[in-house]
Amino acid sequence: MSRALLLLLALLLAPIMGWAQESAPVTSPRATVTLLADRSAIAPGEPFRLMLHQRLAPGWHTYWQNPGDAGAPPEVTFDWARPGWEAGQLQFPAPSRMPFGPLMNFGYSGEVGFLLDVTPPRDLRPGDYVTITADATWLVCADICIPEEGRFTLGLDVAAAAVPAQAARFREAEAALPRAAPFEARFAFSGPRGALTIRGAGFSPASVREASFFPDASGVIQNAPDQRLTRREGEITLDLTRGPAEPPARLSGVLTLTDAAGVRGAYLIEAGPGGPLPASPLPLWQLLAFAALGGLILNLMPCVFPVLAMKAMAMAKLGGAARGAIRAEAAAYTAGVIVAFLAVGGAMLGLRAAGGGAGWGFQFTYPAFVAGMAWLMLAVGLNLSGVFQVGGSIGAGQGLAGRGGAAGSFFTGVLAVVVATPCTAPFMATAIGAALVLPPTATLAIFGAMGLGLALPYALLGVFPAAGRLLPRPGAWMERLRQFLAFPMYAAAAWLVWVLAQQSGPDGVLTALVGAVLIALAAWAWGVAQQSGRTPRRISEAVALAAVLGALALLPLLGTAPPAAAATQGEAWSAPRLAALRAEGKPVFVNLTAAWCVSCKVNERVAIHTDAVQRAFEAAGVVQLTGDWTRGDAAITALLREHGRDGVPLYLLYPAGGGAPVILPQILTEGILLGALRG
């Protein structure tokens, strides 16, 4: 009978004992949270585990230890009734990627358990009853984010030997934790992109279906871009996008792998440097083809017209020339273009290696460079107008830019590249963006292919010199043509001064105009020296040298001149403003432009700022944000790289209600914009 009573008593107490292993829940319409123990009775000094368990309502989520672009992880603090208790750090299960508009967060939905180890004091006595009190905070988000908190109380018996409980729930939480990785990991960054490479004997092209990397530290990578997975025998690689923080000595975090059967595993990764550089999204031969095509299209861009005018003059002089002369001119011009492209590519690689933010056309973000180019265009125009000569008379077929000969052709090729960069052509964006994340040799090969494309029309004369017979014969008309071709150079100089006005304001323009007067004085004095006797020639040469040095001394002043206020359509772009508009669910059109970008200005006049497009923007509630890259703003550089671009223009159309932006073509029309608005 007594045994029956004891059994009945045990059955009645079982629910109470089970409740002692879990606190009373803290509930809200968004989440139900409790604190659990894996023991129904604890032993003195013997560690046990607690779990903060969350059951989230549909559509709501909470966050990992690194929440990503927004959010906050849960935290737990204890109010111990007596000294001697020790609590470890909260242990986080492997998270999932959770996109929200342009942001990417790391966290959990559904049910999640956060474990932590607790060690009780050794001086507890069997038969005691202890109460654990904990305060916790957590953030739950859907369309809005709401911070929540709760106070949890858990009562446990003390026994000589611990009594396990809740074994299944704790095994499930334990299985969700990332475990030590059984494979080697390496990482590398090159410019804006990076790669995480995992090597292990079990990898094969069919063994891994999906993979994601979650860094421990924020700012190491950009979270939103896709992490493209490349599979090879014994190796997988994830593409990463470099964040604003400096790359760490070792890259740590959690790697999740989903196998072919759909089973997901999570591993703790600590990757050392020295892995392979990021792979290009296209084969190298395709990138070379795109680069050459982009360089060829540059011949149609307005930036290059002044230089092509000089080259047209030189080509006209080849009419009736010997095949050897035609080949020499073509080879020198081609060499000048390719060498200049390689120099620009090498400069960009050097600045990237030093931590700089160089992008395509980066030289035009420096006011001193723009002023120097304006003066150079002015000097070339004065040469074509006959104010001075370089190397002899025009009748001998010589001169710096318009003459024949290898030196003149080489110089013309270099100048064509320098002034071509503000007119980035449509097919060059992919090649340039990929070039700057490839190894240096492949990068320089792509820049060389761009140069070959730009020089191709003239290089064909070297391959087929018989085509030179189709050119008109030299004659007296060439002197008039030579003088006429000076005016495109003057126009280019005027345009560059206008660009300088956007960068440095009225003070910068005044400095440039004073320098232009000094350059004109130097050209005149040099021309006088070429027509004078010995003594007057030396005086004139001294005047020319002093004038040039005086102009060069003005260049440092341009760096300190205050920039002019940019005239933009809509609002000025900033990352916080864009994030705020996206959070409100508004459609946004982002125009990244620069004063020196001729393609940008043409697009704005013929497509963006037209009445039809502006009416459509207003009807759809589109907010226009303009990012001015005229002086190389670092935040805009980061946005360009985030979307795989290294120069302007870049046009992004963010849809209403969230979602990734649509990247519009670099050459815009009204129809393209209106069609994108209609979806």
pLDDT grade for 14, boundaries at 50, 70 and 90: very low
Instruction: Indicate the Cα dihedral angle 565, 570, 575, 581, nearest 10°.
Output: 150
DSSP state of 302: G
The whole-number average pLDDT for the span 129-151 is 93
Highest mean pLDDT among 330-339, 356-365, 478-487: 330-339
- What are the structure tokens assigned to 643, written together? 């979307």
Lowest mean pLDDT among 336-345, 570-579, 592-601: 592-601
Lowest mean pLDDT among 5-9, 279-283, 455-459, 538-542: 5-9
The whole-number average pLDDT for the span 212-232 is 90
pLDDT grade for 90, boundaries at 50, 70 and 90: very high
pLDDT grade for 466, boundaries at 50, 70 and 90: low
* Residues 402-440 as b or e (16 or more Cβ within 10 Å = b): bbbbeebbbbbbbbbbbbbbbbbbebbbbbbbbbbbbee
For the stretch 38-62, pLDDT in tens is 999 999 999 999 999 999 999 999 9
Model confidence at 426: pLDDT above 60: no
Pairing of strands 571-572, 623-628: parallel
User: Is 266 or 475 the better-scoring residue by pLDDT?
Assistant: 266
User: Is 233 in contact with 239 (CB distance < 8 Å)?
Assistant: no
Pairwise CA distance, residues 596 & 243, whole Å: 28
Model confidence at 522: pLDDT above 70: yes
Model confidence at 9: pLDDT above 50: no
For the stretch 389-424, pLDDT in tens is 764 333 333 334 444 467 777 877 787 776 665 555
Query: Which residue is associated with the tokens 């001075």?
Result: 388
Lowest mean pLDDT among 30-39, 93-102, 398-407, 504-513: 398-407
The whole-number average pLDDT for the span 668-673 is 86
Domains parsed from the chain with CATH numbers:
19-176 (2.60.40.1250), 180-273 (2.60.40), 284-560 (no CATH), 571-678 (3.40.30.10)
Say what the pLDDT of residue 401 is. 42
Highest mean pLDDT among 384-388, 393-397, 577-581: 577-581
Say what the pLDDT of residue 630 is. 75
Share above pLDDT 90 across residues of the chain, in percent, rounded to a whole number: 29
Lowest mean pLDDT among 213-227, 255-269, 280-294, 523-537: 280-294
Pairwise CA distance, residues 51 & 31, whole Å: 16
